[in-house]
Amino acid sequence: MPELEKRFSTEEACRAYLSQLRWADGFCCPRCGSRKEPWPVRGTYLQCPACAHHASVTAGTIFERTRTPLPIWFRAIWWVVTQKNGASALGLQRVLGLGSYETAWTWLHKIRRAMVRPGRDRLSGHIEVDETYLGGKEEGVHGRETFKKALIVVATQEDGNGIGRIRMRRIPEASAKSLLPFVEDVIEPGSTIHTDGWLGYVGLAARGYAHEVSVLKRSKASASDLLPRVHRVVSLLKRWILGTHHGAVSPDHLDYYLDEFTFRFNRRSSRSRGKLFYRLLQNAMAVGPVAYKDIIKSVRGSGGRNHNP
């Protein structure tokens, strides 16, 4: 943190860094497409020499129109990537000394949006896929879990006996209509997909996947023996939600928590926090801006999502 604060102590330093991320191949004017070297204007804008447009490096990103100085944003993002077990709004509020919990919560949700890179590549190879319920009454949990049941589908890449990368999504119901689009969005055709005998997966072969089905043969075997990687990931996810968020994840916000878990899980072997920080800022440059009212709206599910089957 001290090193970060030294390097990114000013708005100009942060903007210069973001410019490097956004225009990695050199400046390109968002209005006219000119690649001529821009002039800095008041340390905030870059003026295009071809059309005189004042380009802002934060326009069209999660930092657009923020009233918070960028050094504070950088500190928030640094803090998020260094929380090994996930970031809570309360923790962020404390560390930045923010006046309101709501502000911290909104920031976290903005930062979470940057955890999914637009156009990220799909999983390939051998993949386990299964659905599971989150929430509701869990064994050994007494009154802590405050969200109702939500259905999610999880894909885990096999990596020898271990787990490679993962993807997950909340779905309205376990039908082919929900499961197959998920598979097509996150897994390369030609991959081998390993599922249980559920009918919702029957269409996989027709969509260009090799489909391996395992069914319970002995009464002693459990679902987690069939698809051990998915079930390992699900138990880690449940523990994470209980531990970091004290179970206080409403189904309306679940999508974002799934994104954060996925971001952290897929980078769990990356020892360098600097790399995570860089990756998150890089994504932040690529995802569009989001207003508080849109976060509220989208988590209320008015965007056409159904939850709680």
231's tokens: 């079930």
CB of 4 to Zn ion, least distance (A): 33
Judged by CB under 5 A, does residue 36 bind Zn ion? no
Query: 221 — phi, psi (to 5°)?
Result: -70, 150
The β-bridge partners of 152 are 132, 170
Q: Which is nearer to Zn ion, 48 or 295 (CB)?
A: 48
Q: Which of 116, 122, 164, 123 is nearest to 282 (CA)?
A: 116
Stretch that binds Zn ion, among 34-42, 91-99, 223-231, 257-265 (CB under 5 A): 34-42
Residue 237, C-beta contacts closer than 8 angstroms, at least 6 positions apart:
134, 168, 258, 261
Cα–Cα distance measured from residue 267 to residue 80, given in angstroms and rounded to the nearest whole number:
14
Cα–Cα distance measured from residue 133 to residue 125, given in angstroms and rounded to the nearest whole number:
26
Cα–Cα distance measured from residue 55 to residue 48, given in angstroms and rounded to the nearest whole number:
7
Query: According to CB under 5 A, which one of 50, 213, 242, 290 is a site residue for Zn ion?
Result: 50
CB of 30 to Zn ion, least distance (A): 8
Judged by CB under 5 A, does residue 51 bind Zn ion? yes
Judged by CB under 5 A, does residue 53 bind Zn ion? yes
CB of 141 to Zn ion, least distance (A): 57
Residue 9, C-beta contacts closer than 8 angstroms, at least 6 positions apart:
71
Q: Which is nearer to Zn ion, 26 or 97 (CB)?
A: 26
Q: Which is nearer to Zn ion, 48 or 179 (CB)?
A: 48
Judged by CB under 5 A, does residue 34 bind Zn ion? yes
Cα–Cα distance measured from residue 94 to residue 57, given in angstroms and rounded to the nearest whole number:
29
How many Cβ atoms from other residues are within 10 Å of residue 111's Cβ?
Answer: 23
Judged by CB under 5 A, does residue 55 bind Zn ion? no
CB of 244 to Zn ion, least distance (A): 45
CB of 26 to Zn ion, least distance (A): 14
Cα–Cα distance measured from residue 211 to residue 197, given in angstroms and rounded to the nearest whole number:
11
Kindly identify the residues of this chain, within the stretch 159-198, that bind Zn ion according to CB under 5 A: none
Query: According to CB under 5 A, which one of 1, 32, 41, 205 is a site residue for Zn ion?
Result: 32
Task: Report whether 215 contacts 221 (CB < 8 A).
Answer: no
Stretch that binds Zn ion, among 43-51, 61-69, 77-85, 288-296 (CB under 5 A): 43-51
Query: According to CB under 5 A, which one of 14, 18, 48, 154 is a site residue for Zn ion?
Result: 48
Cα–Cα distance measured from residue 117 to residue 39, given in angstroms and rounded to the nearest whole number:
30
Phi-psi region of 26 (alpha: psi -120 to 50; beta: other; left: phi over 0): left
Judged by CB under 5 A, does residue 29 bind Zn ion? yes
Residue type, 118: P
Q: Which is nearer to Zn ion, 30 or 164 (CB)?
A: 30
Judged by CB under 5 A, does residue 213 bind Zn ion? no
CB of 58 to Zn ion, least distance (A): 17
Q: Which is nearer to Zn ion, 23 or 198 (CB)?
A: 23
Give the residues lining the site for Zn ion (CB under 5 A). Answer: 29, 31-32, 34, 48, 50-51, 53
